[in-house]
Chain A
Amino acid sequence: MINLASKEIAHGWVRYVLTGIGLGLLIGVTMIMTGLVRGMMEDALSLARGTYADLWVVQDNTMGPYAETSTLYDDVARSIAGLPGVEEASNVAYLTVQAKHAGKDVRAMVAGFEHGKPGQPPYLIAGRPITKSRYEAIADNKTGFKVGDKINIRRNEYTVVGLTSKMVSSGGDPVIFLAMQDAQEVQFQKDNTSIYNDRNRLAANPKINRPGNSGLLEAVTDMQQSNHKVNAVLVRIQDGHDPEIVAETIRRWKHFEVYTYKQMESILLVKVIANALRQLGMFMVILAVVSTAIIALLIYTMTLGKIKEIAVLKLIGAKNSTIAGMILQEACGLGLIGFLVGKITATILAPLFPKRVEFLVFDSFVIFFITVVICVFASLTGIRAALRVQPASAIGG
């Protein structure tokens, strides 16, 4: 038996392919949505994953440093480093800034790290690591900076000496790595006017600036201008030790909140980007429903366009399965063209999006499977219409 579907497609292939392309654009949008969701998840985890830490020690009763503000003194790391099972502990500081370069602002996250410890840039795609103690930076290539660029962050100028890739904050902002002291200054040191005003306010406070007790004012002023704070302490555990047990020790004896990698991953995915994921997820569901409706309408319209031929086929003895098979194959063919066009469209458009659009082979398979299911489901409307055609309608009355 000849394949009726392929014959009909070949007969009107221009219209068929154009329909498939239209459908493909719709599928392309769905794929980009999927890529955005996947990209958002990857972005959310990239910084935490890149630290290679086993534990995050943060301010008690907070979910810092990515989900909430957390502040610790930078000597906490030393006290934690001495606990049993701890391989090394290091301070990290995170802060979102507007870095200035060549008259333009780039929104970025500053990550302060200690050399050779958890939290440092995991790898470089260009340049070299930071070798000087001050005023050097490593930037993610998404910032658009190049090695040798001079960038301004708050009060100081930094030289970009290296570039990383795919190191972004949970919000998708590219990361600029600075040495810890620089990061602390960026985060905690105020500008000159603020310092001047704070000093005057303290001096005007009679409880602090008491006659005969000048040391109190000096001590409070020093404390206010202290930069010795960080946002979290990253801990790497010695081989053979259970991170949960070490975390419990820190919680019990040091009174900090401690998260393992799994817990941090959960915080990032469930707390930080959950709403955005739900939002995109809703769009994807709506797109899937719209796609199903459109494919169903297309197949139904295509079927109505050949009612007379279907009636003739039934009259001359074609089985219902032959006719249903023809409609189903045409629907699946549309889905296949749509998927290919969608994949190409999504791949071409993805780099134009400001946020990362990540395509996984697994996701492509899932979308292909869903497309086929939608096409099969949508073809039922056409098949139903075709099976209701009476052979008698082939004969004029």
Chain B
Amino acid sequence: MDIQAACSKAIRMENVVKTYGAGETAVHALKGVSLCVYPGEVVGLVGASGSGKTTLLQCLGAIIDPTSGLIELGGEVIYDNGWKKEDLRALRRDKIGFVFQAAYLIPFLDMLDNVAIMPMLAGKDNDKARARAMELLKVLEVDHRARAKPSELSGGEQQRVAIARALANNPPFILADEPTAPLDSHRSLLVIKLLIELAAQYQTAIIVVTHDDKILPHFKRIYRLRDGIAYEEEGMGRPFDE
């Protein structure tokens, strides 16, 4: 894939600024962030607490509006210096998968429906949505718990189901906010390995916000947020068998 073709399918931010409040009490969370994540790539986003990681993720996820700057998802402009695309809800549903610190599964739905709800919300009929959900649960090796409720699963299993949900509509982009925070070292590595494999398999562009030093060496590229500016760093891209 050449650079231009890759950029047209990438996550791109150009000089994004996000300021909360105004005047003397204004908080400048992002002071001109630029970054790019290509399809099939998993990029780490690190930074101290309060450095703006979550704000950046919220701007990318079309959850909050940036104050200025440009955001493109797959070549489609969603924010451009005050202008924003209509129906961001549908954009979030169809093009972005979210994975959170906690799985945040819907407690009253079983695993299958927790995943199937994504294609259902997108208008797929229930049978097709469930078939797709079962397919993903098999990939993530939790299909044997398809009829279990979230409260009956371990944290690792729940997180895998959350990843399955994020993938259910085949989104080109996944935003993961500290997905390994509730997991032990072994399971954390398993989750990151899984995300890297899925990115390669489905050509998904994935951003993983993390504080976890144990998983950082496995990213090939890292953005470090400091004082509202994102600094790109070369990652070690360490294989998982080491």
Contact = CB atoms under 8 A, between A and B. Distances in A.
Interface of A: 1-2, 4, 7-8, 10-12, 308-309, 312-319, 322, 390-392, 394-397
Given A10-B108, A392-B63, 11 more contacts: A2-B117, A4-B106, A7-B108, A7-B109, A309-B104, A312-B100, A312-B104, A316-B118, A391-B63, A395-B61, A395-B63
Interface in B34-80: 54, 57-58, 61, 63-64
Contacts of B100: 312, 394-396
Interface stretch (B87-95, B187-195, B196-204): B87-95
5 contacts: A1-B121, A309-B104, A309-B107, A391-B63, A395-B98
Contacts of A1: 120-121, 126
A316 B117 contact: yes
A10 B113 CA distance: 14
B165 A7 contact: no
Nearest to A1: B120
Nearest to A390: B63
Nearest to B98: A315
A390 B100 CA distance: 15
Given A1-B121, A396-B101, A313 B106 contact: yes
Interface in B99-145: 100-102, 104, 106-109, 113, 116-118, 120-122, 126
Q: Which of B63, B90, B122 neighbours the largest number of chain A CB atoms within 10 Å of its CB?
A: B63
B149 A11 contact: yes
A377 B89 CA distance: 27
A395 B113 contact: no
Nearest to B91: A317
Nearest to B113: A2
A306 B104 CA distance: 11
A7 B113 contact: yes
A17 to B, nearest CB: 15
Nearest to B100: A395
Given A317-B121, A395-B177, A396-B100, A11 B165 contact: no
Between A7, A394, A395, the greatest number of chain B beta carbons within 10 A of the residue's beta carbon is seen for A395
A317 B177 contact: no
Contact of B165 (A308, A316, A392, A397): A316
Contacts of A309: 104, 106-107
A316 B64 contact: no
A395 B54 contact: yes
Contact of A395 (B57, B116, B121): B57
Interface residues of B, number: 32
Given A8-B108, A11-B149, A315 B121 contact: no
Contacts of B98: 315-316, 394-395
A317 B90 contact: yes
Contacts of A12: 108
Contacts of B118: 316-317
B108 A396 contact: no
Main secondary structure on A side of the interface with B:
helix
A394 B165 CA distance: 15
B63 A317 contact: no
A191 B178 CA distance: 98
Contacts of B64: 392
Contacts of A10: 108
Contacts of A2: 109, 113, 116-117, 120, 126
A265 B102 CA distance: 70
Contacts of A312: 100, 104, 106
Q: Give me the 9 closest cross-chain CB pairs, A-B, nearest first.
A: A317-B93, A11-B108, A8-B108, A392-B63, A397-B54, A312-B104, A1-B120, A7-B108, A317-B92
A289 to B, nearest CB: 32
A7 B118 CA distance: 16
A11 B149 CA distance: 9
Contacts of A318: 121
B79 to A, nearest CB: 15
A166 B203 CA distance: 82
A16 to B, nearest CB: 11
Nearest to A322: B121
Nearest to A318: B121
A396 to B, nearest CB: 5
Contacts of B106: 4, 309, 312-313
Contacts of B113: 2, 7
Contacts of B89: 314, 317, 319
A392 B92 CA distance: 12
Contacts of A391: 63, 92
Nearest to A5: B108
Most B Cβ at <10 Å: residue of A4, A312, A394: A312
A10 B149 CA distance: 12
Contact of A396 (B117, B126, B165, B178): B178
Nearest to A12: B108
Task: Name, among B58, B117, B178, the residue most crowded by chain A CB atoms within 10 Å (CB to CB).
Answer: B117
Contact of A315 (B92, B94, B116, B178): B92
A323 to B, nearest CB: 11
A342 B92 CA distance: 45
A217 to B, nearest CB: 94
A96 B130 CA distance: 75
Contacts of A11: 107-108, 149
Contacts of A4: 106, 108-109
Nearest to B116: A2
Nearest to B50: A397
Contacts of B54: 395-397
Contact of A317 (B101, B104, B122, B178): B122
B77 to A, nearest CB: 20
A90 B235 CA distance: 111
Nearest to B165: A316
A10 B104 CA distance: 19
